[in-house]
């Protein structure tokens, strides 16, 4: 069955970087795009951007440009999201989510990872 399994919780100091992983299975990885969505405690959902697993193209929202990098490892069907220069307001649960249709930008998310809580605190 389709699964997106994310890495464990992280605690980071302000200014540090975090890299979270999203290991996928159950579908042809290279045919899909994967997005990252974050959710601050008690708040709504915020789309961060996406990466194409078929050609590595990325698109990040302006808010995160220069601070975020999304990558893939096609040998392990894993997607990574690195966020740098962390601030306390980056404290959130970070989700990976699969685009619903092959070979398209993920505009609809049909499968989600379980989420990773990243806490930024001094």
Residues that bind another protein (CB under 8 A): 35, 37, 44-47, 59, 95, 97, 100, 105, 107-110, 112-115
Contact yes or no for 70/58 (Cβ under 8 A) = yes
Report the Cα–Cα distance between both ends of the chain, in Å, rounded.
40
Q: Smallest distance from the beta carbon of 15 to another protein, in angstroms?
A: 28
Q: Smallest distance from the beta carbon of 108 to another protein, in angstroms?
A: 5
Q: Smallest distance from the beta carbon of 75 to another protein, in angstroms?
A: 26
The smaller minimum CB distance to another protein, of residues 14 and 66, is found at: 66
**Geometric angle at alpha carbon 45, from 3 and 53, rounded to 5°:** 40
The smaller minimum CB distance to another protein, of residues 41 and 122, is found at: 41
The smaller minimum CB distance to another protein, of residues 85 and 108, is found at: 108
Q: Smallest distance from the beta carbon of 50 to another protein, in angstroms?
A: 9
User: For the CA atoms of 50, 61, 117, 4, what is the dihedral angle to 10 degrees?
Assistant: -10
The smaller minimum CB distance to another protein, of residues 37 and 120, is found at: 37
Distance CA 3, CA 1 (A): 6
Distance CA 99, CA 92 (A): 22
């Amino acid at each position: 069955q389709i699964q997106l399994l994310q890495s464990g919780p992280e605690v980071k100091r302000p200014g540090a970087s975090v890299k979270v992983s999203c290991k996928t299975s159950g579908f042809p990885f290279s045919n899909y795009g994967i997005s990252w969505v974050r959710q601050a405690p008690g708040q709504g959902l915020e789309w961060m951007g996406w990466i194409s697993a078929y050609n590595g193209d990325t698109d990040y929202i302006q808010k995160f440009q220069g601070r975020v990098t999304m990558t893939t490892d096609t040998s392990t069907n894993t997607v990574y999201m690195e966020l740098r220069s962390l601030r306390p307001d980056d404290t959130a649960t970070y989700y990976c989510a699969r685009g619903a249709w092959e070979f398209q930008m993920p505009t609809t998310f049909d499968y989600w990872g379980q989420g990773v809580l990243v806490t930024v605190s001094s």
